[in-house]
Structure 1
Amino acid sequence: MIKLSGVVITYNEEHKIERCLQSLQPVVDEIIVVDSFSTDNTKSICLRHNVIFVEQQFMGYIEQKNFALTRATYDYIVSLDGDEALSNELQQSILALKSDWKYSGYFCNRFNNFCGQWIKYSDWYPNKKLRVFDRRKGQWKGINPHDHVTLDPGEKPGQLKGDILHWTYQSYSEFNKKTEYFSTIAAKAYYDNGKTAPLMKIWLNPLWAFIKAYFLRRGFLDGLNGLVISVQTAHITFLKYTKLRELRSKND
């Protein structure tokens, strides 16, 4: 029977973290929370739930999550963000792994709640995420803020039944603020990785992002919020490349 470590990174998640921890407690054998010095009640809520609470200055999403892995006691990891929780079906799927672990990691579908609506299309579902894995066979990679677990070459993933429930933006104004924030992080990461922003990308990439989300992934079936998500998907792509172009003009 293997043992599991639940690993969560947080910053000011007082309204969502308890739901996250409560969903992990029946499943894992310990919970590690790595917090970026929250200024709200996140710490006190976590400590009420008997977690191992570690404070670490934020280093970037990928770097923070890889650091969090090093603080876990066990090699088998269930990783969540502070605004996520395991569905009942996913809890049962993970519990079954304790006596029947076959793959190096497991994908889960993430189900996003936007402004009180569960989004079933708009390129937001099934939104596969590899969040249950053996840390000896994979790590967090990507380009900030788009982190993902990548298994080592030759390692194979499985798929679990059930959803990671994600309470994302709960107002349009919050969505707008985060779009500005994440596009700035992405532009800086792209710049550090030597990427360029020709006019063709600034024009075509946002257009393709909208077409894919609204038409190909049937965002129109999510109603007004599907339109909002699809437009904002195009907008963040536009901002990312225009900010990258600005960085290059200033620094190159």
Structure 2
Amino acid sequence: MNKISALLITFNEINHIEDVIKNIGFADEIIVIDSFSTDGTYETLASLKNVKTIQREFKNFADQRNFALQQANNDWVLFIDADERITNKLKFEILETINQPKNAVAFMVKRLFFFKKKRIRFSGFQTDTTYRLFKKDKVKYIEDKIVHEMPLIEGESSLLKNNMLHYCFDSAAHYKSKMEHYANLKALELFNKGKRPNFYHFYLRPGIKFITNYIFRLGLLDGKEGFDICYLSAYGVYYRYQKLKKLID
């Protein structure tokens, strides 16, 4: 039987940490890289005997994930965020996948989004997939892609059949704070690439983002939550280019 390492990177995830650790209890080892949480996350992790926790300063998502990969002792790695959950069907599919001959060395998972515990079926999230299962020596995250990080895969990849649950945002304020955090990192990424914002980025691009998600990707069918999500996603685009302007100035 092949063994699997479950990896997490965390910062202030006290509302999720115990549930996610219990959820991935089927892994042969659990390793958490914590960015000096201040809400009790680290203390909770330190009390769990089946978890190895390392505190490390956060530089960016790609850097933190690559460090986590280096800590894994098993050939197969399952990356999971604190607000994600593995269903029973997905768990058995993962265990079957790593113990049967496969051409693929990396696997994507489709995520089902929840906002304020309500299932979000549209609003731009309906096609979301993300890499979560890898052979450790066949993947490295692209260093200059510091937000919405992308793995560089050495070999074939595939999509798992079963879905992951993503309890991504507890409130509009929580979503806004995440959008601002991602926007700060994305602005730095664009700054490093020499990008300069203009009228289109400040005014047209956020509007296009809102219309695309709310109208064409049917966010209006998600009710008030759909409007909040689409509005704040557009706000995140505007905020990104404001931060980029400040970096240039």
CA RMSD, 1 decimal: 1.7
**Contact persistence 2:219–2:230 (CA under 8 A):** yes
**Contact persistence 1:169–1:175 (CA under 8 A):** yes
Unmatched runs of 5 consecutive residues or more in structure 2: none
Give the partner amino acid of 1:181: H
Deviation, structure 1 residue 101: 4.5
Please say if 1:144 is aligned against 2:146. Answer: yes
Following the alignment from structure 1 to structure 2, what is the Cα–Cα distance between the partners of residues 6 and 68?
Answer: 10
**Contact persistence 2:75–2:135 (CA under 8 A):** yes
Matches within 5 A, 1:28-47: 28-46=27-45, 47=47
Deviation, structure 1 residue 6: 0.4
Following the alignment from structure 2 to structure 1, what is the Cα–Cα distance between the partners of residues 231 and 215?
Answer: 12
**Contact persistence 1:143–1:190 (CA under 8 A):** no
Partner of residue 187, structure 2: 187
**Contact persistence 2:109–2:164 (CA under 8 A):** yes
Q: Secondary structure at the match of 2:163?
A: strand
Partner of residue 198, structure 1: 198
Partner of residue 123, structure 2: 122
TM-score under structure 1 length normalisation: 0.91
**Contact persistence 1:84–1:165 (CA under 8 A):** yes
Q: Calculate percent identity across the aligned residue pairs.
A: 30
Partner of residue 104, structure 1: 105
Post-superposition Cα deviations, 1:45-66, rounded to whole Å, max 9, x if no partner, equal 3232511111111121110111
Partner of residue 18, structure 1: 18
Following the alignment from structure 1 to structure 2, what is the Cα–Cα distance between the partners of residues 35 and 229?
Answer: 28
Give the partner amino acid of 1:39: T
Which 10-residue stretch deviates more, 174-183 or 52-61? 174-183
Post-superposition Cα deviations, 1:16-51, rounded to whole Å, max 9, x if no partner, equal 01111112112x211111111222222233232511
Change (3 A) 1:126 1:156: same
Partner of residue 61, structure 2: 61
Change (3 A) 1:49 1:14: farther
**Contact persistence 2:63–2:146 (CA under 8 A):** no
TM-score under structure 2 length normalisation: 0.92
Following the alignment from structure 1 to structure 2, what is the Cα–Cα distance between the partners of residues 97 and 49?
Answer: 27
Which 10-residue stretch deviates more, 127-136 or 142-151? 142-151
Post-superposition Cα deviations, 1:174-211, rounded to whole Å, max 9, x if no partner, equal 22233333222221221122222122233332122112
Following the alignment from structure 1 to structure 2, what is the Cα–Cα distance between the partners of residues 171 and 31?
Answer: 29
Give the partner amino acid of 1:84: E
Partner of residue 223, structure 1: 223
